Amino acid sequence: MIIADRKPIDDIYAMIKPFDKVLVVGCGGCVTVCLTGGERSVAVLAEQLRLKDNLEGGGRTFDEVTITRQCDAEYVETIRARAAEADVLLSMACGVGVNYMTEVLGDCITLPAMDTNCLAANIRAGEWAERCAACGNCMLEQTGGICPIARCSKSLMNGPCGGTQDGRCEVNPDLDCAWAKIVDRMDKLGRLDELTELSPPRDWSAARHGGPRRMIVEEALMDEDEGTDA
């Protein structure tokens, strides 16, 4: 899932200061699951902003709404009327939500209340850890299902760096060395000899280097001419 953390309250308040009517918009997707941007988080942020605004002597109003997903037009459309009544939308979704609400709602100003971090797995209650860099060119079949791009601090492709010690990362000793885990995993699978094959230079054209990415599933596309007269 996409992981996002809420920005500091002072930073958020500074963003909304030029506006009088603020609509705080939560998302029922990833940020709800990671406990940072769902309905409860929206209520907390809106109340904190009201209190801060009172202390600052402001007269702003803070409305609240949470939609199922900010990355789907059908859900964004449900708040179009409320958005039109506000001076600014304060999104508690990931950066995708901020971008897409801006796109769908047009003239409405949408500001980010969150910092989007990574694609992560839920390791335990209250803890998420990055497991994918969304590089667009997956090589997990070569590394026993452990991603060296996302989990190695240096994104090395052909084994650990010279600084790893006792299975710990040179960049951050609090982290396991991803390549130590890869070697252990491949050994357990009886595939250790496969790691002797060198990986070629990485083709980053499928990642951000090729510009904004998209996916089209042809069978899911609606035929615009379907149901119309010839």
Record the pTM.
Answer: 0.84
- What are the structure tokens assigned to 76, written together? 């964004």
Q: What number of other Cβ atoms are within 10 A of residue 14's Cβ?
A: 11
Contacts of 177 (CB under 8 A, 6+ apart): 152, 160, 164, 167, 168, 169, 170
pLDDT of residue 228: 44
> Rounded to an integer, what distance in angstroms lies between the CA atom of residue 173 and that of residue 192?
25
The pLDDT of residue 223: 57
- Domains (ranges, CATH) in the chain? 2-117 (3.40.50.2300), 136-210 (no CATH)
- Predicted pLDDT at 200: 86
Tens of pLDDT along the chain (230 residues) come to 999 999 999 999 999 999 999 999 999 999 999 999 999 999 999 999 999 999 999 999 999 999 999 999 999 999 999 999 999 999 999 999 999 999 999 999 999 999 999 999 999 999 999 999 998 889 999 999 999 999 999 999 999 999 999 999 999 999 999 999 999 999 999 999 999 999 888 777 777 666 676 777 777 776 554 544 43
